[in-house]
Structure 1
Amino acid sequence: MPRPARDGKAPTVVHLTAEYWPYARTGGLGEAVEGIARGQAQSSVRAFALMPLYRVVRDAGFPLEPVGSPQTVALGGATESIRLWRPADRADGAPAVIFVDHPPSFDRGGIYGEAGADYPDNPRRFALFCRAALEA
């Protein structure tokens, strides 16, 4: 059982992840993060997972709803527009999942790359994801 915070409230844990089952996975990372977050949520920890909104998530037809209004994120001297989404059908007691939507970065055929090669802009894509998570 986790220790409560000094104010007596349950702690909050936010997982920033490139993969989260059942939405997107390439190996075992998605299952591992989901299992950890689920275990935390079952132990009275407020568990959240933030991940990119990949094309594979959209194509799978998961019902999503927007969270707030579009936001801007500064990265490398540029300003990018992002939108946050969440599953519309979250089960009671399940970890909250928030998707970071930035189509130029994440509306692609693969998660990390295609045809056996990484996307050359992966460092920028995931830096944008981290900045968006900090703003969320």
Structure 2
Amino acid sequence: MHIAFAASECVPFSKTGGLADVVGALPQALAKLGHQVSVYLPRYKQTKLNDAQTVVRSITVPFDDRYRFCSVLTGGKQGGVDFYFVEYPPYFDRDALYGTPAGDYPDNAERFALFSRAVLEASKVIGVPQVFHCHDWQSALVPVMLRTLYGEDPAFHDVGCTFTIHNMGYQGLFPSEILPLLMLPWDLFTMSKMEFFGQVNFL
């Protein structure tokens, strides 16, 4: 089975907490069982890659009613796992992953929504998996976008998703005005979907 992980951090490339440890270990364990495994991560300023090469230069990512151009780099194969990095300097070339001591980056919703959509676009070029395994709010929009924006895309026919929450304390809560920016339909803004006390909840 081809399994693609989408996460915001992973050892040894980036880490703020236990999420990075899990995403660093679980894919390699699955690869040892014979699965084809790939991992998609943001390319942060702190990400150190050896002999990184551009796999897809200027991937076109529809976002905010226009297009953003990202690069996808390969970190090579480690422990039988292929690592790919979404590079978009305006969002990820920063001193920290999520914010400063003063608080979270104010554009975190846009940053990780772009990452989620870039993962889907990149997989169409690199190889569509049978299952996406997404982790925490930073990649929670991958299954949402897969079932809405890419619901009619034949490339993703029969692709499954699984989602793991590592820390329920981080919900990914943002003002409702963010929804059109993400190009998601307003019918998702209900209590049974993404609405949470007047805010958008990525989980």
- TM, length-normalised to structure 2: 0.57
User: 3-state SS of the aligned residue for 1:40?
Assistant: helix
Q: What displacement does 1:72 show?
A: 1.3
The aligned residue for residue 192 of structure 2 is none
Moved more, 123-132 or 107-116: 107-116
How far apart, CA to CA, are the structure 2 residues paired with 1:15 and 1:116? 30
Query: Are 1:21 and 2:11 counterparts?
Result: yes
Matched with 1:43 is 33
Higher relative contact order (CA 8 A, sep 6+): 1
Aligned to 1:87: 75
Runs of 4+ in 1 over 2 A off after TM superposition: 60-63
CA positional deviation for 1:68? 2.6
Deviations 1:35-89 (A, max 9, x none): 11000011111111000000001xx45331110332111112121110000125x
Q: Which runs of 5+ in 1 are unaligned?
A: 1-10
Are positions 1:33 and 2:23 aligned together?
Answer: yes
Question: Mapping of 1:68-79 within 5 angstroms?
Answer: 68-79=56-67
Return the alpha-carbon distance in structure 1 between the equivalents of residues 102 and 38 of structure 2: 31
Q: 1:126 to 1:100 in 2, by over 3 A?
A: same
Q: Which runs of 5+ in 2 are unaligned?
A: 123-203
Asked if structure 1 preserves the Cα contact closer than 8 Å seen for 2:49 and 2:75, the reply is no
Q: How does 1:1-136 map to 2 (within 5 A)?
A: 11-57=1-47, 60=48, 62-88=50-76, 90-91=77-78, 93-136=79-122
Cα separation, 2, equivalents of 1:37 and 1:29: 13
Question: Offset at 1:29?
Answer: 0.7
CA 67–61 in structure 1, closer or farther in 2 if over 3 Å, else same:
closer
How well do the aligned residues superpose, as a CA RMSD in angstroms?
Answer: 1.3
TM-score by length of 1: 0.84
State the alpha-carbon separation in 1 of the partners of residues 34 and 17 from structure 2.
28
The percentage of aligned residue pairs carrying the same residue is 31
Amino acid of the residue matched to residue 75 of structure 1? Answer: F
- Is the contact made by 2:57 and 2:70 (CA closer than 8 Å) also made in structure 1? no
Letter in 2 for 1:38: Q
